[in-house]
Amino acid sequence: MSSDPTVLPIGYSLHGYRIDSVLGRGGFGITYRVVDTRRNCYFALKELMPSEMVARVGGSGVVPLGAAKQEEWNWARQRFVEEADMLSSFRHPAIVRVHEVFEKHGTVYMLMDYVDGDSYDGYLKKIGRETDQEAVLRVLIPLLNGVEEVHAKGLIHRDIKPENILIDPKGNPILIDFGSARSHLGGGGGMTSIVTHGYSPIEQYQSEGNAGPWTDIYALGAVAYRAIRGERPLVSTERVLEDRYDRLEGKRLAGFHPSFLREIDRALALHPKGRPQSVREWKILGGQRGGQGVAVQVAVAREKTGGEGLAGSAVWSMILFEEEVVSMLRAGKLSPRDYVLTEGMVEWSQLGEVFHC
Ligand SMILES: Nc1ncnc2c1ncn2[C@@H]1O[C@H](COP(=O)(O)OP(=O)(O)O)[C@@H](O)[C@H]1O
Ligand SMILES: [Mg+2]
């Protein structure tokens, strides 16, 4: 068993939770799996521990690295509490559920649902790449819906990447690691901004970079790119002098519609102004500009085996581009009775409820 003095020891109890294992540690904190000793179930507990500001003393206490760091540390704790409070108000299946924030040992802890599953990164490493659009959308759509809510509250995640997307046992994506989320209203703050090569847009490499919803949209585009190509897009700083971004559109990738690929390219525009400015705009996509590529707007539900009606029969569902639906209708592969058109996008989980997927 690990006796690393910088993490809380396995078996240690705090606030009614017993440390069971260390799930991960990064520049901002340490995430533990803990057991709720009353209910005997797991949670994930994140401990704020920015290594450049604080150190552990005496096994559990956390103290700033000298008086010079005190002010910055106070600020960091306050931001962590505010963000955790904000997150705990979210009830979205694609955003990790935060239950509680508490202060102890001189630092702050955030208690979350434990997601028993691999990260999307781990999953993609195993499969290489997704082979069709539907598989990518199954991850992308719930995330878009969740991130739209995050943005509506004035937060930007700023570190969306496959490692920060967990896939639950039912295959649903859950976004974690809001440690770097900052209010874009007011901005500022002393914590070092973080970047992840391939997923962070160019503005995150600039100290005065103007982050906004378009920052997360770039990262989501990069996640989709990685899923489609099996590798992340060219690092944004490598694109500044000469943009050799390898566009998806025009690649004739089997299983992917050109309009969909074009929208992923658009999210990955180097210049923030070249990207969709909001998740809502991206969802509506090209649809209002000449009827091109209304991605993921249409939910289709159809009986798997004919004849018995929707009730009681196995139903499958998928998300298509409007133009694909039109061409399927024309080709007689779909009848108008088969599908349900939706305003905006539908969450996969909602579809599941309605249609018993
Ligand atoms: N709610 C959770 N359920 C299960 N595992 C989690 C959860 N939150 C974090 N983890 C695991 O811990 C790792 C680190 O957590 P994360 O919040 O991403 O912090 P950081 O990347 O800053 O260390 C994640 O990559 C994941 O493997
Ligand atoms: Mg992380």
Q: Whose CA is nearest to atom 14 of ligand 1?
A: 24
Pocket lining for ligand 1, CB < 6 angstroms: 23-26, 28-29, 31, 44, 46, 96, 112-115, 119, 163-164, 166, 176-177, 179
The kind and range of the H/E element at 205 are: none
Q: Please report the pLDDT score of residue 67 as a whole number.
A: 92
How many residues in the chain?
Answer: 357
Q: Which of 88, 176, 180 to mutate to test the pocket of ligand 1 (most atoms within 8 A of CB)?
A: 176
Residue numbers of the chain with a pLDDT score lower than 50: 183-192, 285-319, 336-357
Q: Please report the pLDDT score of residue 337 as a whole number.
A: 46
Q: Whose CA is nearest to atom 9 of ligand 1?
A: 31
In angstroms, what is the C-alpha Rg of the chain? 22
Q: Which of 7, 20, 23 to mutate to test the pocket of ligand 1 (most atoms within 8 A of CB)?
A: 23
Q: Please report the pLDDT score of residue 327 as a whole number.
A: 63
Distance in Å, CA 23 to ligand 2 centroid: 10
What is the CB neighbour count within 10 angstroms for residue 23? 16
Q: Please report the pLDDT score of residue 21 as a whole number.
A: 96
pTM: 0.81
Q: Which of 177, 178, 193 to mutate to test the pocket of ligand 1 (most atoms within 8 A of CB)?
A: 177
Backbone angles phi, psi at 123, to 5 degrees: -65, -45
CB 133 within 8 A of CB 257: yes
DSSP, collapsed to helix, strand or coil, labels residue 137 as helix
Q: Please write the tens of the pLDDT for every residue from 112-135.
A: 999 999 999 999 999 999 998 888
